[in-house]
Structure 1
Amino acid sequence: MAKSSADDAELRRACEAAIEGTKQKIVMSIRVVKSHGMWNKTGKISRHQMAKPRVLAISIKQKGQRTKAFLRVLKYSTGGVLEAAKLYKLKHLSKVEVITNDPSGNTFTLGFDNIRSHAVANPPQWTMRNIDDRNRLLMQILNICKDVLGRLPKVVGIDVVEMALWAKENTPTVTAQRNQQDGVHVASAVTETELKVNVEKELVSQAEEEDMEALLGSYVMGIGEAEAFSERLKREIQALEAANVHAILESEPLIDEVLQGLESATNCVEDMDEWLGIFNVKLRHMREDIESIETRNNKLEMQSVNNKALIEELDKLLERLRVPSEYAAYLTGGSFDETHMIQNVEACEWLTGALRGLDVPNIDPIYANMRAVKEKRAELEKLKSTFVRRASEFLRNYFAGLVDFMISDKSYFSQRGQLKRPDHADLRYKCRTYARLLQHLKSLDKDCLGPLRKAYCSSLNLLLRREARDFANELRASTKISTSTNPNVWLLGGIGSGQNVNAADTSTVSEAYAKMLTIFIPLLVDESSFFAHFMCFEVPGLVPPGGVANGNKTGYDDDDANDDDLGIMDIDDNDSKAVRNSVELAALNEALQDLLDGIQEDFYAVVDWAYKIDPLRCISMHGITERYLSGQKADAAGFVRLLLGDLESRVSMQFSRFVDEACHQIERNDRNVRQTGVLAYIPRFATLSTRMEQYIQGQSRDLVDQAYTKFVSIMFVTLEKIAQTDPKYMDILLLENYAAFQNSLYELANVVPTLAKFYHQASEAYEQACTRHISMIIYYQFERLFQFARRIEDLMFTIAPEEIPFQLGLSKMDLRKTLKSSLSGVDKSIAAMYKKLQKNLTSEELLPSLWDKCKKEFLDKYDSFTQLAAKIYPTENFPSVAEMRDILASM
């Protein structure tokens, strides 16, 4: 018998090397052939399948007190070295099946329950060399499953008796070789117990084993007589079955008796079944009747509940559709007197709520389409239109009646000798009575407010214009003005510079204009704010309740300024939450235009009246207007701010008219007559600017600065034109006038930046005129001397300095002649120069400074001449600069 590969120590060592590092111990390793093919009828594997050599190894691993068992499949690599291919856990082994198509019985498959879910068409088949190898491997697997796992897999295709006989006969000692460290192979005997191959002990109990031995002992036969033993057992089984049939036949009377009892019981059961069927039909009919009765009762109960709910809902709907007679009476024909306004407001509130209650989603959409609801809505709409028409007509007549009553009473307006401040407290009190009515009219019909707003604006506009006209007329008539001197006299050409033009006291003009603004601007602001809230515009208030735009600035009686608290804000709480709406704001501004339009003419009349009395008072009025305009930020788009802006433009226009006329008079100087000395408008401008600064009082700076710029520009341009008419005396006229401009405006230029700019401009022009005039005088007296020096300077650009004495007219002899003619009697020439400077100068106070400038200029020119002459004519002698300075000092 060939040696089994299970005893190959080298194979076991190769397997251990392949799984090195896994902490597993090889129990058995054996060579097998792996295939997936189907066995044909001849007992051979199909040709297209390939058998692959493999090694199956059983390994165990100790983990504490637990032992794990594995089945490993190893394959040969290209170098013939074993390497691990697959690993199966024996705890998942569920079936061991020997392939019946293999006549040798050496082929089997192993089934694992953890891979049942995979669609494996052909599980691997393992073919051993012989039956001994197969039995040895399978016994080892079964033994480990029994010891380690405590259970056995299902075994198919193997005769248990055959396996037991094989296990009993094949219990030889197996030699195992172990590789020691020194490389020597030691053989040791391994018993059956050590290899754990005692399968019969594991498969059957001790009692079963004894019975089997007794049974086998009664027969003298070997393993080859198994077929005869099987035939004998079949014959004995057939004999036992025949004996059982005979015994059954002998018990026939008992069976007949049992059958008769069964038949009588069957008859009773059939009768009972028939009765039960009858009772079942009757019960079914009764159940159907009961169900029908319950259904009818449920329907009646549901109908009763629904009818009750419907009646309640209809009662609510009828209550909602009912129009109270007292409200209907007020809506269709009630009085709008003050005593009945509470009832009217209550009727409006009811009507508004009733209309809102008939709209979806306040009412169920199903009810909204009902005929009764539609008819009631039409009835309410008719009530609404009737009430809105009656209320609108009453309010239009009421507004007109209030204003007509006030206009017919003269005590409301200013009269001769008495200025009357407009008082609208009573008017607003009466209007406020109908404020809540207007709120409800807006909620009922928003379009009805347009005609009411126009009617209110039209009526109140008449009152406001009448009050403004009478107040402005009496204000002008009662203003006393001191007119000892015409304020415009400075524009006349004949007045001298020393005359006083400030004798007129026109401060009352400015005070009258301020009083007009103090009285009417807060009034117009309050009227605008009251109108916006009273007529239900959804915009914020123009000023806080009870506030005024600028306060009392002039000290006049202002006790009534806060008598109107504009409590209209309390009419509807929603007003406090209103947001700015551009459409509403545009409508408000348009309405305010109708309310206040035309009143600006009376303000313009006061401005024009003040301008005629004193044009310079436009400066004060401009400052007053600016202060009021800066206080109207809350009314950025309102009529009052537009009015103040127009007034500011009107004042600016009048002042610009005054400036243009003054500039025209400056340009209109008589150019046919020779102008000498200081022109008349120079000192008059100084006086005018002083007075203008007094009127500014911290306001209207830009207006005055623009006037200064225009005045001075025209003055300087006109001065230059006048000076050019006589070139001989041009510089004298310029320096005298520029000097006079500086002297007259010295103090103002220190505090007014605009005048300081023109002061420096005049100073530069003065210096230029002085330089030109002094140079002309010097050249007039010493023309030959300095002309000689100029010729030398011209030649130095083209020839060398040492060649200049040889030029025609520039020899040393020519130099001596020039010096003799120019410097002999130099004191007389200097005295003549002083007389010429003094001759045409009208402003004697300028002579000392001009003479000092003249002497300095002459010394500078002479110094330049001496340096030039010493360079060209080094051997010549001429008076030094020090000698010339001494001569000038002695003059």
Structure 2
Amino acid sequence: MAKSSADDEELRRACEAAIEGTKQKVVLSIRVAKSHGIWGKSGKLSRGNMAKPRVLAISTKAKVQRTKAFLRVLKYSNGGVLEPAKLYKLKHLSKVEVVTNDPSGCTFMLGFDNLRSQSVAPPQWTMRNIDDRNRLLLCILNTCKDVLGRLPKVVGIDVVEMALWAKENTPAITKPQGNLKDGPITETVTEGEMKVTVERELVSQAEEEDMEALLGTYVMGIGEAEAFSERLKRELQALEAANVHAILESEPLVVQVLQGLETATNCVEDMDEWLGIFNVKLRHMREDIESIETRNNKLEMQSVNNKALIEELEKLLERLRIPSEYAACLTGGSFDEARMLQNIEACEWLANALRSLEVPKLDRSYANMRSVREKRAELDKLKNTFVKRASEFLRNYFASLVDFMISDKSYFSQRGQLKRPDHADLRYKCRTYARLLQHLKSLDKNCMVPLRKAYCSSLNLLLRREAREFANELRASTKASRNPTVWLDGTTGSNQNANTSDTSTVSEAYAKMLTIFIPLLVDESSFFAHFMCFEVPALVPPGGVADGNKGVPNDSDNENDDDLGIMDIDDNDKAGKKSADLEVLNESLRDLLDGIQEDFYAVVDWAYKIDPLRCISMHGITERYISGQKADAAGFVRILLDDLENRISTQFSRFVDEACHQIERNERNVRQLGVLSYIPRFSTLATRMEQYIQGQSRDLVDQAYTKIVTIMFVTLDKISQTELKYSDVLLLENYAAFQNSLYDLANVVPTLAKFYHQASESYEQSCTRFISTIIYYQFERLFQFARRIEDLMYTITPEEIPFQLGLSKMDMRKVVKSSLSGVDKSISAMYKKLQKNLTSEELLPSLWDKCKVFLSFEECTF
């Protein structure tokens, strides 16, 4: 017999995959054929109702209180994959009917009481054989009985016959045989098959044969089947009673086994009690031995501890002693330069004494002793007194140094003399107290905040005074004539281009300002960072200058102003280690250098007033300095350079906007012919701008080119629209002038090359329109006649055109004769008209050549 599709594991897995996500478990899946036809005499379906392959699946879904059962219909997709087609709830199954017209008995119908249209015949399901049919129907009935507690109506099949078939075809269940090497042996049947298994373990094989013979002698109806069922139940109860009796007969053997187990238990309890007694004796012996060893060890340990305690007390007393010379120096000593060595020694002793009384330098058990706490409080009082005295002295000292320098005018630039700021003496005097500042920071970090503010406040006055005096004298000593800012205004005279005096001294003055003060500010930032004990990397290497200032002399030739001549107090500190107080340093640098930017701004504004184009060279100079400032501690210097760059860009943008405004003013004139004034002037402006480009200021100039040329072209188009008769002439002459004036620059400047090509395209378009207008004016009748013929060809056939009014062959001859009879005069008139309209004589030959080429092309086309 062929294997049933109900045992096909692949089919079951395909069904489970099709209903994945519904939390339903497939109990049984089997292949069927679905049809709606009527079985004929031949026992085959009619051709109009062919059977379709389907799969019926019985599934269940477990709920909290009850279990739901479903009948699923699945069909095959185009790719051969099962997909859900219909879903029926078994609680609505009311009838199971086997079709009597099918001689094989393999066709049945399922009736549901909740179908919307009862007038439509339910589908018929056809199985491959009787076994598949019985297996499916039996599974449906058992599921209804177990889950719903009732059975649907069965029509066309005998229930007793179904029960006998279930008994004969139910596979055996293999029970677990124990744990083997590879694990327990599992059952060989599924859960759904176990539900229909007949409990044959309660009857013997002989009884089964007698039951089959007895059933064979009956032709049963419904009532006799119920009577037979009652009889079978009574016999089953008798068999169960016999099995219970057999179990009771084996009681003596069970009693004997229990007695053996009780004897073994008593032996084990006696052994456990015996072992417990020996364990107690051994523990007592071990405790006695440990007690003897402890008494012997204590005597030896006591002598050793007494000796060590005396040594520790002597060391502790030495730590708690304060030398009188250090106490006098910390509480009332002088801070003169001659006394600084004693002050440094006292600070070092105080710092070491404080660290020695802290864990882990001092053992944790000594930290809470009364004598240690009192001595620590005394040391803290000494520390606070010394820090307060030293901080007050340093604040007054910084102010007195700066006041002395400000009161002496020889430190600053004077009329007729530019003086480079020199802070060598100031730094030399500050280095005397650099070591003291490091000790103050180690003793009390909070005292550094007011000291840094005092230093910044004092030195800021000196730096601003130096920058102001230097900038004023720099501007006064620079000789440069002022260039007008009106570059592209058409109202100015033609001699403007000649007014291009040399203003290089302006940008040189700005460069000198940066050359003098940017290294100074970087050095001051570096000196302040190290002098005020910020843990930041060095700004410049020893004996060198900042990267962006190569070639700029330092304050001293062979001396590094940032070398304070001191060593790190903490041996764990590493040179160049970045610290978290970098942000605090930048805030202090703002206090130190804030306000000095105003003098730089004044130089920039002064240079802009003399020659706005010098913004280009100043922008390049500033960019070179920005690329050289990479140290983190010079944050304010980078901010200053960025602000200068933005201010220069803003000033140059003002110049570009003014130039654009001057170009737009040309639009207001009533009528303009020939080349507009700003076209040739722009070439002069672009030439000077290219001469001023330095460094990376290419982008600044390219942006200006883009804005100005765009306004130029837009304004030119607006002016050309004021009088359309001369629009194309104005456009072609100005675009030609633009190309001629910028030919050399466009070859080297990509931005101007782009606008050069744009002007070339606009020039060609204007020429084409202008030439077309002139030709059309001379041969107007001929072109009108040709246009009428072209328009009629859209509506009528070419053969009908000669019969239209005014378009006959005679009319065409007249038009051609009148137009071409005086062609020499017409061409001469075209040349004169072209010559009359053009204001630029140099454009006449090229335009006339284009006109002749265009005229020959039109004649060929006509």
1:307 positional shift: 4.1
Q: Is the 8 A contact 2:529 2:633 kept in 1?
A: no
| SS at structure 2 position matched to 1:560 | coil
| Structure 2 residue aligned with 1:711 | 708
Q: Letter of the aligned partner of 2:708 in structure 1?
A: F
Work out whether 1:685 is the aligned partner of 2:682.
yes
1:791 positional shift: 2.2
1:299 positional shift: 8.4
- Identity percentage of aligned residues: 82
423-432 vs 646-655, which moves further: 423-432
Q: Quote the Cα distance in structure 1 between the aligned partners of 2:559 and 2:489.
A: 52
Distance 1:714 1:301, change over 3 A: closer
Q: Letter of the aligned partner of 1:368 in structure 2?
A: A
Work out whether 1:609 is the aligned partner of 2:618.
no
| Structure 2 residue aligned with 1:419 | 418
Q: Is the 8 A contact 1:496 1:680 kept in 2?
A: no
Q: Is the 8 A contact 2:729 2:838 kept in 1?
A: yes
The alignment's TM-score, normalised by the length of structure 2, stands at 0.64
Q: Is the 8 A contact 1:487 1:501 kept in 2?
A: no
How do 1:595-674 and structure 2 match up within 5 A? 595-635=592-632, 638-669=635-666, 671-674=668-671
Q: Is the 8 A contact 1:330 1:344 kept in 2?
A: yes
Deviation sequence 1:545-582 (CA, Å, 0-9, x none): 333225666x776572653342237431655346323x
1:310 positional shift: 2.5
| Structure 2 residue aligned with 1:470 | 469
Q: Letter of the aligned partner of 2:750 in structure 1?
A: P
Q: Quote the Cα distance in structure 1 between the aligned partners of 2:648 and 2:530.
A: 33
698-707 vs 737-746, which moves further: 698-707
Q: Letter of the aligned partner of 1:511 in structure 2?
A: E
| Structure 1 residue aligned with 2:788 | 791
628-637 vs 844-853, which moves further: 628-637
Deviation sequence 1:801-843 (CA, Å, 0-9, x none): 3332223322101110110121111100111111111112100
Q: Is the 8 A contact 2:478 2:509 kept in 1?
A: yes
1:494 positional shift: 3.5
Q: Quote the Cα distance in structure 2 between the aligned partners of 1:303 and 1:848.
A: 126
Among 568, 571, 580, which residue is 2:567 paired with?
A: 571
| Structure 2 residue aligned with 1:774 | 771
359-368 vs 494-503, which moves further: 494-503
| Structure 2 residue aligned with 1:731 | 728
Deviation sequence 1:221-244 (CA, Å, 0-9, x none): xxxxxxxxxxxxxxxxxxxxxxxx
Q: Quote the Cα distance in structure 1 between the aligned partners of 2:628 and 2:696.
A: 14
- Residues paired across the two proteins, number: 574
Distance 1:743 1:778, change over 3 A: same
1:312 positional shift: 2.0
Distance 1:463 1:683, change over 3 A: same
| Structure 2 residue aligned with 1:362 | 361
Q: Is the 8 A contact 1:321 1:373 kept in 2?
A: yes
| SS at structure 1 position matched to 2:556 | helix
Distance 1:303 1:813, change over 3 A: closer
1:446 positional shift: 0.8
Distance 1:476 1:556, change over 3 A: farther
Q: Letter of the aligned partner of 2:608 in structure 1?
A: Y
Q: Letter of the aligned partner of 2:564 in structure 1?
A: I
| Structure 2 residue aligned with 1:560 | 556
Work out whether 1:385 is the aligned partner of 2:384.
yes
Q: CA RMSD in A?
A: 2.7
How do 1:774-853 and structure 2 match up within 5 A? 774-853=771-850
Q: Quote the Cα distance in structure 1 between the aligned partners of 2:388 and 2:297.
A: 56
Q: Quote the Cα distance in structure 1 between the aligned partners of 2:480 and 2:459.
A: 34
1:670 positional shift: 5.7
Q: Quote the Cα distance in structure 1 between the aligned partners of 2:859 and 2:397.
A: 99
Q: Letter of the aligned partner of 2:480 in structure 1?
A: I
Q: Quote the Cα distance in structure 2 between the aligned partners of 1:478 and 1:818.
A: 82
Q: Quote the Cα distance in structure 2 between the aligned partners of 1:410 and 1:643.
A: 27
Work out whether 1:332 is the aligned partner of 2:326.
no
Considering only CA atoms, is the larger Rg found in Structure 1 or Structure 2?
A: 1
Q: Quote the Cα distance in structure 2 between the aligned partners of 1:542 and 1:857.
A: 72
Q: Letter of the aligned partner of 2:577 in structure 1?
A: V
Q: Is the 8 A contact 2:452 2:588 kept in 1?
A: yes
Deviation sequence 1:1-57 (CA, Å, 0-9, x none): xxxxxxxxxxxxxxxxxxxxxxxxxxxxxxxxxxxxxxxxxxxxxxxxxxxxxxxxx
How do 1:263-342 and structure 2 match up within 5 A? 306-342=305-341
Q: Is the 8 A contact 2:526 2:634 kept in 1?
A: no
Q: Quote the Cα distance in structure 1 between the aligned partners of 2:848 and 2:301.
A: 131
1:305 positional shift: 5.2
Distance 1:813 1:482, change over 3 A: same
Distance 1:391 1:559, change over 3 A: closer
Q: Is the 8 A contact 1:731 1:769 kept in 2?
A: yes
How do 1:485-500 and structure 2 match up within 5 A? 486-495=483-492, 499-500=496-497
Q: Is the 8 A contact 2:489 2:663 kept in 1?
A: no
1:671 positional shift: 2.6
Q: Is the 8 A contact 1:475 1:512 kept in 2?
A: yes
Q: Quote the Cα distance in structure 2 between the aligned partners of 1:357 and 1:796.
A: 114
1:454 positional shift: 0.5
How do 1:734-749 and structure 2 match up within 5 A? 734-749=731-746
1:795 positional shift: 2.8
Q: Letter of the aligned partner of 2:791 in structure 1?
A: D
Q: Letter of the aligned partner of 2:529 in structure 1?
A: A
Q: Is the 8 A contact 1:497 1:684 kept in 2?
A: no
Q: Letter of the aligned partner of 2:327 in structure 1?
A: A
Q: Is the 8 A contact 1:521 1:549 kept in 2?
A: no
Q: Is the 8 A contact 2:519 2:554 kept in 1?
A: no
Q: Letter of the aligned partner of 2:709 in structure 1?
A: V
Q: Quote the Cα distance in structure 1 between the aligned partners of 2:723 and 2:426.
A: 74
Work out whether 1:589 is the aligned partner of 2:593.
no
Distance 1:300 1:678, change over 3 A: closer
Q: Quote the Cα distance in structure 1 between the aligned partners of 2:576 and 2:380.
A: 27
1:649 positional shift: 0.4
Q: Quote the Cα distance in structure 2 between the aligned partners of 1:724 and 1:299.
A: 118
1:641 positional shift: 0.3
Q: Quote the Cα distance in structure 2 between the aligned partners of 1:575 and 1:805.
A: 108
| Structure 2 residue aligned with 1:40 | none
Q: Quote the Cα distance in structure 2 between the aligned partners of 1:454 and 1:722.
A: 63
1:450 positional shift: 0.7
| Structure 2 residue aligned with 1:399 | 398
Q: Letter of the aligned partner of 1:643 in structure 2?
A: L
Q: Is the 8 A contact 2:398 2:455 kept in 1?
A: yes
| SS at structure 2 position matched to 1:418 | coil
| SS at structure 2 position matched to 1:488 | coil
Q: Letter of the aligned partner of 1:330 in structure 2?
A: C
Q: Quote the Cα distance in structure 1 between the aligned partners of 2:453 and 2:328.
A: 29
Q: Quote the Cα distance in structure 2 between the aligned partners of 1:415 and 1:343.
A: 43
Q: Quote the Cα distance in structure 2 between the aligned partners of 1:364 and 1:502.
A: 87
691-700 vs 811-820, which moves further: 691-700
Higher relative contact order (CA 8 A, sep 6+): 2
Q: Quote the Cα distance in structure 2 between the aligned partners of 1:420 and 1:773.
A: 67
Q: Letter of the aligned partner of 1:462 in structure 2?
A: L
Q: Quote the Cα distance in structure 1 between the aligned partners of 2:382 and 2:713.
A: 81
How do 1:148-187 and structure 2 match up within 5 A? none
Structure 1 spans left out of the alignment, 5+ residues: 1-118, 122-290, 866-891
Q: Quote the Cα distance in structure 2 between the aligned partners of 1:360 and 1:618.
A: 63
Q: Is the 8 A contact 1:629 1:641 kept in 2?
A: yes
Q: Is the 8 A contact 2:548 2:625 kept in 1?
A: no
Q: Is the 8 A contact 1:529 1:542 kept in 2?
A: yes
Among 743, 750, 753, which residue is 1:753 paired with?
A: 750
Q: Quote the Cα distance in structure 1 between the aligned partners of 2:396 and 2:470.
A: 27
